[in-house]
Amino acid sequence: MINFQYVQATDVADAVRQTDGDPRARFVAGGTNLIDLMKMEVEQPTRVIDITRLPLRQVEPTPSGGLRIGALVPNTDLAYHPLVEERYPVLSSAIMAGASQQLRNMASTGGNLLQRTRCAYFYDVATPCNKRTPGTGCSAIEGLNRGHAILGTSQACIAVHPSDMCVAMMMLDATVHVTGPTGDRVVPFADFHRLPGDAPQRDTNLNPGEIITAVELPPKGFASHHTYLKIRDRLSYAFALVAIAAGLDLDGDTIKEGRFALGGIAHKPWRDPKAEAVLRGQPANAATFTRAADVLLRDARGYKYNTFKIDLARRCIVRALGQAARATPQSQSHKKIA
Amino acid sequence: MTDPEDGPTFHPTRRDVIAAGAVVPIAMALPPGAAAQSPSVAAASGRVAVSLTINGTQHVLTIDPRTTLLDLLREHLDLTGTKKGCDQGQCGACTVLSDGRRINSCLTFAVMFEGRHITTIEGLAAGGTLHPLQQAFIDHDAFQCGYCTPGQLCSAAGLMAEGRAKTPDEIRELMSGNICRCGAYPNIVAAIQQAMGRS
């Protein structure tokens, strides 16, 4: 690990100030991803700013009926928070589908958003990777790409975003609250993460020196009809091949509003308004769900080892929307898929 | 070799040699409350001070900020019960309790634990009495090689404190961060069920 200067931030303004315009400064909270990457020397910060003492650990109802989640709330605390379990159970479920309890105890809400891809080439400093070292090429496009993206890829990068939590937040229309050198701003979740394009080194639209202070959920939580379904190579403690967060607002058997976001298939949590429009006003059945899946996957493209994800994603969408319609959300401990 | 102030034993071991080759820690065991340190700030030397309590004993150290909590325990304090498996947060062998919550000690910097209370496998038993989980692991033959066992035990202690696991399925799911290459999982689940019944 490359040596670095360690400093502790006393408040949010101090944290921003401590970055001092240095693009190689990094905030550390849970550390579960950053420190791993620092050991591999994928991340080589010159300055590490410890933000664990900042007062960003509250989960509070908002005046508009939503929920404001402090950036330092640990994943476990968020998943087990009574208001989240009651009003946003899909978020609890998504969090519990990811990582292990030890990691969830450490990992912060803001850090979860800033997780970097688990592409093996990104981690292996001996191989070319445009995300790690821009301009060197993508080893995955012609390499072992079984876990890689099928939507939103570019010639420069086919990596996927690894988070489960973010998939549920995307479905829930969350907003990301940030503070930076020029003040505060609110970023819609859909605009927070980026597609790789020709700059895959940039995972998010955060500007230099900006820090996430909170994630806010709007009132609508789809608590009656939701699911988080995650398909992976083993039943626990593995990244998704395909994951989906789904929520339905039903009037009898008719869909008033349906939403679904997918993980494991793109550089960001993937949601498609055109696919959701297919659901509106339609009967909640497999035929409707299949049509919506086909729309979402219309531009999907497989590579040598991951073409199976297109069909897997289609089946996951149909299965998950069915779980949501039947109000039988996927359990994250009893693994049988209903 | 290791600084004589570093620990109670001064016989060079492979561990001492490795530790001396990297950094020479300054470690003192103090009674609780004896050293209230100001927050750590990187000095010109790059070394940082940290004060934390491990198994009820306060330690004040000056360390390289790169030192993980795991390396602090093993290399600086000779608390080698906590194991290094993957060193990447994937195996759970390094699990310890921080203020009662289970964490991977390999994926965190020791300097971030200023003022925290850490419990390692060495601190699980109360006096001469085994923790109910330790007794249950013996009763159920819940290990073979034993390398993952300290992490399994600390993780299970965290699991019991959380109070979320009721069924064998839930125990398996919430213990999935602890890998056992010997495959003692059925006995580990049985041992945890026994300990949960007792406490």
Among the partner residues A7, A99, A105, nearest to B41 by beta-carbon distance: A7
Q: Is A103 on the interface with B (CB under 8 A)?
A: yes
Complete domains list, chain A, with CATH:
5-52 (3.30.43.10), 226-325 (3.30.390.50)
Which of B71, B95, B102, B152 is the best substitution to test chain A (most A C-beta atoms within 10 A)?
B102
pLDDT tens digits in sequence order for chain A, 338 residues long = 999 999 999 999 999 999 988 999 999 999 999 999 999 999 999 999 999 999 999 999 999 999 999 999 999 999 999 999 999 999 999 999 999 999 999 999 999 999 999 999 999 999 999 999 999 999 999 999 999 999 999 999 999 999 999 999 999 999 999 999 999 999 999 999 999 999 999 999 999 999 999 999 999 999 999 999 999 999 999 999 999 999 999 999 999 999 999 999 999 999 999 999 999 999 999 999 999 999 999 999 999 999 999 999 999 999 999 999 999 999 999 988 88
Name the closest residue on chain A to residue B155, using Cα atoms: A102
Name the residue type at position B50: V
Measured between beta carbons, the chain A residues lying within 8 angstroms of B111 are 6, 50
Complete domains list, chain B, with CATH:
4-123 (3.10.20.30), 132-198 (1.10.150.120)
Task: Name residues whose C-beta falls within 8 Å of residue A135's C-beta, 6 or more positions apart in sequence.
Answer: none
Name the closest residue on chain B to residue A3, using Cα atoms: B66
* DSSP 8-state symbol, A152: S
- pLDDT, residue B20, reads 44
Q: Cα–Cα distances in Å, from A272 out to A20, A91, A261, A292, A293?
A: 38, 19, 8, 10, 10
pLDDT tens digits in sequence order for chain B, 199 residues long = 334 334 444 444 545 444 444 444 444 444 443 333 344 454 445 899 999 999 999 999 999 999 999 999 999 999 999 999 999 999 999 999 999 999 999 999 999 999 999 999 999 998 889 999 999 999 999 999 999 999 999 999 999 999 999 999 999 999 999 999 999 999 999 999 999 996 5
Task: Name residues whose C-beta falls within 8 Å of residue A311's C-beta, 6 or more positions apart in sequence.
Answer: none
User: Which residue pairs from A96-100 have beta carbons closer than 8 angstroms and sit at least 24 positions apart in sequence?
Assistant: A96/A332, A97/A164, A97/A228, A97/A230, A97/A240, A97/A243, A97/A332, A98/A163, A98/A164, A98/A165, A99/A32, A99/A75, A99/A237, A99/B177, A100/A236, A100/A237, A100/B92, A100/B176, A100/B177, A100/B178
Find the angle CA(A127)-CA(A129)-CA(A131) to the nearest 5 degrees: 150
Q: Is A22 on the interface with B (CB under 8 A)?
A: no
Name the closest residue on chain A to residue B172, using Cα atoms: A333
What was the ipTM of the complex prediction? 0.96
Strand locations in chain B, DSSP E? 26-30, 48-54, 57-63, 95-98, 101-104, 117-119
Q: Residue B102 and residue A3: Cβ atoms within 8 Å? A: no
Find the angle CA(A271)-CA(A292)-CA(A149) to the nearest 5 degrees: 45
User: Hey, is A138 helix, strand or coil?
Assistant: strand
Are β-strands A254-263 and A270-271 bridged in parallel, bridged antiparallel, or unpaired?
A: antiparallel
Q: Is B173 on the interface with A (CB under 8 A)?
A: yes
* DSSP 8-state symbol, B100: T
Reported pTM: 0.92
Which of B152, B160, B166, B151 has its CA nearest to residue B199? B160
Q: Is A102 on the interface with B (CB under 8 A)?
A: yes
